[in-house]
Amino acid sequence: MIKELIVVEGKSDTAAVKRAVEADTIETGGSAVDRRVIAKVALAMERRGVIILTDPDHAGERIRKIVSSKVPGCKHAFIPEKDATRKGDIGVENASPEAIRHALANVHTSFEGAPALIGLDELMAAGMLVHPRAAERRMALGNALGIGYCNGKQLFKRLAMFGITPEEFQAALTQIDQGGNIT
């Protein structure tokens, strides 16, 4: 049984999580996260801890930002878009039990206000910004590090927020570049 409560978007996500692991969930009911949901998440954080596992899309990122800004200290689990897509539909409910278990085994704790260990110059040199394939490279990097996809500005913040070290960053870049699919 996973100790923390897992924040998901809806009933289908809860069902998918329960197929993968023994855990309790809190459903946001969509991207309009109201104060009652935040109150539940805050109580869960106080008593058991919280892992946010939302869809790898714009709405999921919006929910993640709302919840983590209102309830500091949440852990974050990410499922790569390719592992959460079925017939063009993106969502946790489409992920295999293995993908969900992998995401939950590789959670990241947010360190709000943490200093950036990787600078914008390093991101630029790595082709994560102002590069013809920057979006593809950021997607591959987010998947390799288990921090999800984000735009350049969000990537800079997320690397700091999750305390990604230069060594972890470099290892992920090596993995991407040796994979041969992103240049």
Tens digit of pLDDT for each residue in 137-179?
A: 999 999 999 999 899 999 999 999 899 999 999 999 999 988 7
117/111: higher pLDDT: 117
Question: By C-alpha distance, which of 134, 142, 135 is closest to 164?
Answer: 142
How far is Cα 85 from Cα 71, in angstroms, rounded to an integer? 28
Judged against a pLDDT cut of 50, whether residue 183 lies above it is answered with no
Same domain flag for 69 and 25:
yes
How far is Cα 107 from Cα 162, in angstroms, rounded to an integer? 10
pLDDT of residue 180: 54
Same domain flag for 13 and 84:
yes
At 90, which CATH number?
3.40.1360.10
Give me the chain's average pLDDT, please: 93
Point out the domain boundary residue: 110, 130, 157: 110
How far is Cα 101 from Cα 118, in angstroms, rounded to an integer? 29
* pTM of the model as a whole: 0.86
DSSP string, 25-93: EEE--SS---HHHHHHHHHHHHHT-EEE---SSHHHHHHHHHHHHHSTT-EE----GGGGEETTEESGG
